[in-house]
């Protein structure tokens, strides 16, 4: 029901950045090699995500807007080894219950165009045969004024959007991303698989020269990333990006492990720029902790932390600081 979707929206769709995250993750799951994101007024006016992924079959499009309709896991076992970013089947119905959604999608042949407002289907027609999905979300929270009032300043909402897009781009260097806000281009990545290029696109080319690569692995985890020299720091931890199996996560233990790798080389209150991609057996990861899936539980977290701090310590030691 629309009411149940609006209740779920309370958790999944906290702000415009949550919509961007859910849509872009769907595009990644759909095996896109190109994802273009266009935002107006920090996402409150409109958010458009165009991908060139597998698209949705005509007969499945309406279903994709029903609660718990996911094409990504089929049985209970799958839930314990999730390989996709989505699996709860909540995002599209939640978003559509609190906004005005227009979706055009095609698997190659004639496509489908649906218009759903406040959870109600208002229009349906065929659309062009361009493989992929083009989804526009307008007037977010138009029917939930209390949520709309709770929004922070436009610049804060925009920075939450760039935060998530930057992290997803770091985690998926083989996808070419673009992010445009009010006609200004905020990100463009090449999609050639080069994490350094992504870092340059985000933090500027001068920063890239001061970023040191590291990598390592043990039986359970494979890590790779870049950390800034201790001279290149920021006043917040927000420049530490942790990507686990392609998912941008918040994890105190991992951020702490990165800082630990610096030993006493950082000034108090200063933090490095760091990006780390971690690959782990999905069996070791539980992302089903919260609807947004940004908090995950990791088995063997201590081993992972040690792997990270040891490797960072070693590469920084070789820099003769």
Residues that bind ligand ADP (CB under 6 A): 22, 26-27, 30, 51, 53-56, 64, 69-72, 86-92, 133
Is residue 84 within 8 Å of 61, Cβ to Cβ? no
Is residue 101 within 8 Å of 115, Cβ to Cβ? yes
56 SS3 class: coil
309: contact with Mg ion by CB under 5 A: no
Stretch of residues binding Mg ion (CB under 5 A), selected from 9-17, 87-95, 181-189, 284-292: 87-95
Q: Which is nearer to Mg ion, 119 or 291 (CB)?
A: 291
Identify the CA nearest to 127 among candidates 158, 106, 156: 106
56 touches, from Mg ion, ligand ADP, none (C-beta below 5 to 8 Å by class)? ligand ADP
DSSP characters over 271-288? EE-EEEEEEE-GGGEE-T
86: contact with Mg ion by CB under 5 A: yes
26: contact with Mg ion by CB under 5 A: yes
94: contact with Mg ion by CB under 5 A: no
89 touches, from Mg ion, ligand ADP, none (C-beta below 5 to 8 Å by class)? ligand ADP
251 touches, from Mg ion, ligand ADP, none (C-beta below 5 to 8 Å by class)? none
User: From start to end of 8-68, where are the E strands?
Assistant: 34-40, 46-51
Facing residues of 112 across strands? 105, 126
Chain-centre distance for alpha carbon 98? 21
Is residue 113 within 8 Å of 127, Cβ to Cβ? yes
Least separation in angstroms between CB 107 and Mg ion: 17
Least separation in angstroms between CB 42 and Mg ion: 22
Identify the CA nearest to 98 among candidates 129, 141, 55: 141
CA dihedral 265, 267, 268, 273 (to 10 degrees): -80
Least separation in angstroms between CB 86 and ligand ADP: 2
296: contact with Mg ion by CB under 5 A: no
Instruction: Name the closest residue to ligand ADP (Cβ).
Output: 86
- Phi, psi values for residue 273, rounded to 5°: -90, 130
91: contact with Mg ion by CB under 5 A: yes
Q: Which is nearer to Mg ion, 30 or 44 (CB)?
A: 30
188 touches, from Mg ion, ligand ADP, none (C-beta below 5 to 8 Å by class)? none
């Amino acid at each position: 029901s629309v009411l149940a979707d609006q209740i779920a929206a309370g958790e999944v769709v906290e702000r415009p950045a949550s919509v961007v995250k859910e849509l872009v993750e769907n595009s990644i799951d759909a095996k896109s090699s190109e994802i273009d994101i266009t935002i107006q007024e920090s996402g409150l006016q409109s958010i458009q995500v165009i991908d060139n992924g597998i698209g949705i079959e005509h007969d499945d499009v309406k279903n994709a807007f029903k609660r718990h309709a996911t094409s990504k896991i089929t049985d209970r076992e799958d839930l314990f080894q999730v390989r996709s970013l989505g699996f709860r089947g909540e995002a599209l119905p939640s978003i559509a219950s609190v906004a005005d959604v227009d979706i055009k999608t095609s698997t190659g042949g004639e496509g489908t165009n649906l218009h759903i407002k406040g959870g109600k289907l208002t229009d349906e027609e065929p659309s062009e045969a361009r493989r992929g999905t083009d989804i526009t979300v307008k007037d977010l929270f138009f029917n939930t004024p209390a949520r709309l009032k709770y929004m922070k300043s436009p610049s804060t909402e925009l920075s939450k959007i760039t935060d998530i897009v930057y992290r997803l781009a770091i985690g998926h260097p083989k996808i070419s991303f673009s992010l445009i806000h009010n006609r200004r281009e905020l990100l463009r990545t090449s999609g050639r698989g080069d994490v350094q290029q992504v870092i340059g696109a985000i933090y500027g080319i001068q920063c890239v020269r001061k970023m040191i690569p590291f990598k390592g692995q043990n039986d359970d985890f494979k890590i790779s990333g870049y950390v800034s020299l201790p001279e290149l720091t920021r006043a917040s931890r927000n420049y530490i990006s942790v990507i686990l199996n392609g998912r941008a996560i918040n994890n105190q233990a991992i951020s702490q492990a990165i800082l630990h790798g610096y030993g006493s080389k950082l000034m108090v209150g200063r933090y490095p720029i760091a990006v780390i991609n971690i690959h782990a057996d999905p069996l070791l990861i539980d992302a089903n902790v919260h609807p947004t899936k940004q908090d995950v539980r990791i088995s063997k977290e201590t081993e992972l932390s040690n792997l990270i701090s040891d490797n960072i310590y070693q590469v920084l030691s070789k820099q003769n600081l």
